[in-house]
Amino acid sequence: MVSATMNLDAQIVGNAGLYFACYRLSLLGWNAMPTSRNARGIDVIAYSRNGKRFLAIQVKSLSKRAPVPLGASLQKIMGDFWIIINQVVSTPTTFILLPEEVRKLAHRSEKEGRVSFWLQPAAYQSEAFREAWHRIGRGD
């Protein structure tokens, strides 16, 4: 078991969350596969066992309770679902959101003339999103 106090590289935290999301989707009957880690956009492709339903999912992994960086524009928010995973190293807690919810809840910040968007913990850590795997549904 990895110590919760261990400082892990952001890419390792991202990988841990990505595979955790695939694991949880698999338990729901989805065939879940990570995309190329250096590709922008969708992180997981999932399809139902009968091949009739496909999902494109973004995964955001955090080592602690923290804001989720969304970048300089909300235009790049895509996919069918967003899975945010807090404390991925110690006690993973997931939050399942729709892309339009991410856009609606995004916080705009401006520093030295540069705009950035963030999803604050208070916005995404709602009970409506916490462990809400039912929003994605089963893949059988």
Task: Tell me the per-residue pLDDT of 73-83, one tens digit each, with 9 for 90 and over.
Answer: 999 899 999 99
Q: What's the pLDDT score for residue 5?
A: 47
Q: Which residues contact 28 (CB under 8 A, 6 or more apart)?
A: 133, 136, 137, 138, 139
- Structure tokens given for 140: 């059988």
Q: What's the pLDDT score for residue 40?
A: 72
Q: How far apart are CA 138 and CA 45, in angstroms?
A: 14
> What number of residues does the chain have?
140
Domains of the chain: 10-66+77-98+125-135 (3.40.1350.10)
The answer to whether the CB of 33 falls within 8 A of the CB of 57 is no
Q: What's the pLDDT score for residue 36?
A: 81
Q: How far apart are CA 60 and CA 32, in angstroms?
A: 16
Q: Is the pLDDT of residue 38 over 80?
A: no
Residue 120 main-chain phi, psi, to 5 deg: -75, 150
Q: What's the pLDDT score for residue 139?
A: 96
- Give the pLDDT band of residue 116 (cuts 50, 70, 90): very high
- Structure tokens given for 18: 């990505």
pTM of the model: 0.91
- Structure tokens given for 104: 């609606």
